[in-house]
Amino acid sequence: MLEFGSETLVITHDSMAEGTHWPESADPFDVAWKLVAVNLSDLAAAGAEPIGVMLAYSLGDSDGDGRFIEGLRAVLDTYDAPLLGGDTIRADGPRTLGLTAIGRATHTPVPSRSGAKVGDGVFVTGDLGQAMLGHEGIEAHREAFVRPIPLLETGRALAAVATAMMDISDGLLLDATRLAKASEVTLSLENAAIPVADRARFDDCIRWGDDYQLLFTAPSGANLPIRAHRIGEVTARSDAPILLDGAPVVGSLGYQH
C-alpha cells in the first residue's frame, strides 16, 4: 500500500509461468484473462477499485500473441482496468509473464490479513474446488479454472465490515493458516460448514487452490452486505493456527510455491 495525497493506493504483482500455471496447449486468450484476474483478485481482497495494470510480456508466435491481446483487451474492458504500460521482450523457451495491478482503496483502514479478533466469525464467499475440477476436464467447472472472476465488487462491499481479508489462491487451509498467523489467532473451522464443489472430494477441494474466493473475518452478529458462508470462529492463539472440527490439520495444507 502507498499513501498518495488523500488516497491510499494498493499495488500488487503476480507472475505466471508456462508449464506451471498453463500448459503449452492453452488458449492465449485464457492465459491473458487469468494473468489479469489473479492480480485483480488481490485488489478485491483489499477492497480496492482498479486504476490500471502494467504488463511484462515475452513475445512468441504472432498468432498466439494476437490471441493473447484479444484476451487482454476483453478482461481489461470487463473490469475497467486500462493498460498503463509495461515491457516486452523476445526470448526462447517457456515463457514467464508478469503483471502489476494498481488500485485505489475504497475504505480505510484497508483490509489486510492481520486484523482478525477473537470472537469474530470466519467466512468464505463461495464454493471451493471448482478450479480443480475444471483443471481435470469437468466442463461445468472449466471457466473457474481458465477464466477466474475477481470479486472486486464483493471486496469493496466487505471492506467496511471485514476485520481481516484475503483471497484464496493456494487452498483454504494454507491461506487460512497465513491469515491466522498474521493476526496471531487460531481459526477454528467446521468441516460441514465449508462449501465445496464436490463433497466426495472434500480434502482435495480445500487444499487445491486457484479458487479466488474471499476468505474474511467479521464480528459475530455483523450485518454482512453480501451472501457468505460462515465456516468457523476466531479463537485465542494456540499451538495450531487452524483447527478442523477441533483438531490440528494433518498432511499438506495446500499449494506451496
Annotated binding-site members for ATP: 86-87, 113, 169
Which residues contact residue 170 at a Cβ distance below 8 angstroms, ignoring those fewer than 6 apart? Answer: 209, 254, 255, 256, 257
* Residue 18 CB neighbour total at 10 angstroms: 17
Dist CA 79 CA 29 (whole Å): 16
The three cell numbers of residue 211 are 479458487
- Annotated binding-site residues read 12, 14, 21, 42, 86-87, 113, 167, 169-170, 210
Dist CA 203 CA 155 (whole Å): 26
- Annotated binding-site residues for Mg(2+) read 12, 14, 42, 87, 167, 170
Which residues contact residue 206 at a Cβ distance below 8 angstroms, ignoring those fewer than 6 apart? Answer: 128, 129, 171, 172, 173, 194, 196
- Annotated binding-site residues for substrate read 21, 210
Whole-number Cα distances in Å, 193 to 47, 161, 162, 165, 257 = 25, 21, 19, 19, 28
* Per-residue DSSP letter, 110: P
Q: Is 254 left (phi over 0), alpha (psi -120 to 50) or beta?
A: left
Which residues contact residue 99 at a Cβ distance below 8 angstroms, ignoring those fewer than 6 apart? Answer: 13, 14, 15, 35, 36, 39, 53, 54, 55, 56, 86
CB 174 within 8 A of CB 206: no
